[in-house]
Chain A
Amino acid sequence: MIDLLLAYITLTLFGMVLLGIYGVVTRSNLIKKIIMLNIMGDAVNMLFILIGYRIVFPVFPPIYEEHITFEEFLSRAVDPTPQALVLTAIVIGMAMNILLATYAIQFYRLHGTVDARDIAEIIGGEGE
């Protein structure tokens, strides 16, 4: 039962990653692209955390408490490595988000559009 649940959650997250890529590729509105990029990033972070999960009962967070022995802690606690990685990834994602949102807003103020096709026309790139 729990295996089925885990597979379901994982597949949902993979679906969200693919949905994010699909949105970034097909939408032409920059704001929508940024939103889809965020959905993709969050799904990837969730997937990382999920990889560190263990199917034992009861499962502990990786916080050592005095009233349990160290062996019991080792056999119950989840893997802390993915969590430590995701901590950095979230900050970098936030920084990237600020930068992208600011550029989109400024481009809208200067040229009055956030449509990728119009932008290609404005900056003279080889758009379709």
Chain B
Amino acid sequence: MKRDVIVAVSFLLAFLFMAYALVYANVLGLGGAELRPLGEFYLSHSFAHEGLTSHSPEVVTAIVWNYRGFDTLFETFVFFLAIMGAFSVLRLTDEQEKLVKELEAREPHRQMDLIVRAITKLVVIMIVAISASIALHGHLTPGGGFQGGSAMAVASLLLFAAFSKFTLERKGLTVKHTVSAYALGLALILATVLAPVFLYGGKVLEINLLPGEMGLFNLDVGEYLAVTFGFLTVFLVLGVSEWIFKTVLRGEVND
């Protein structure tokens, strides 16, 4: 109890110190009318000259593609590592998966009532359209593969809640298929990144050698696929009912 008070008081003191530094000394340089030199450089150069990858009139997109391409690429790798880490923690052996299938066959297929289901169908169609529109010209306007993919993941979560995991699996969205689609997206990204080396003798990620805006468009679509199905894979594995997972895992512990 006494320790809590000390922690709270020290945080309050830190807050007061920061307030003083921010308001009176203005250490962050907030609220000026002037641009910082770096921001001015990016604003005036990121789409002003020829030979750059992106033709976007939006400066943030132009910075990301013209100056920080590797950043975006390795971001995809970090996301891959996170999904694979989650997936490997939740993995099951073949026998356990068979056991899960048997137990799930006995479980009743619960879903929400008619109103919720009908409205969810409409909303999901809209979300899919919007996510495609965010993703497919993300190399020109605000948005991009990750943002579109996240929107799409929300659609799959809505389906999860209103219908059930089994409805999705009946429609063909089993874990095997989603992992395959995820791998397809990553393969598209890798192929686009490596294509300049093998086709045109350029460097890795020198995608302005590819005709038109194909390079950026491919990266966008690849990221869109990867994020959508990466999320969906984790949701499908997490969607196994709690008691089934516990039964299977307790069996593992007892062995």
Contacts and interface: CB of A to CB of B under 8 A. Distances in A.
Interface stretch (B3-11, B113-121, B172-180, B181-189): B3-11
A84 B68 CA distance: 9
Nearest to A96: B82
B89 interface: yes
B15 A54 contact: no
The 6 A-B residue pairs with the shortest CB-CB distance in the complex, in nearest-first order: A79-B39, A95-B82, A62-B59, A102-B86, A80-B59, A84-B63
A92 B90 contact: no
B57 A55 contact: no
Contacts of A91: 75, 78-79, 146
B234 A81 contact: no
A15 B82 contact: no
Query: In terms of DSSP, what is the predominant structure of the interface of chain A?
Result: helix
A54 B58 contact: no
Nearest to B76: A91
B245 interface: yes
Nearest to A106: B89
Interface string A89-104: 0011011101100110
Given A55-B33, A80-B43, A64 B246 contact: no
B19 A26 contact: no
Given A64-B57, A73-B43, A95-B82, 10 more contacts: A53-B30, A63-B57, A74-B40, A81-B42, A84-B68, A88-B75, A91-B75, A91-B78, A98-B86, A109-B246
Q: Interface residues of B toward A: which range?
A: 35 or more
B44 A74 contact: yes
Interface in A89-128: 91-92, 94-96, 98-99, 102-103, 105-106, 109-110
Given A98-B83, A102-B234, A106-B89, A79 B35 contact: yes
A35 interface: no
Contacts of A65: 57
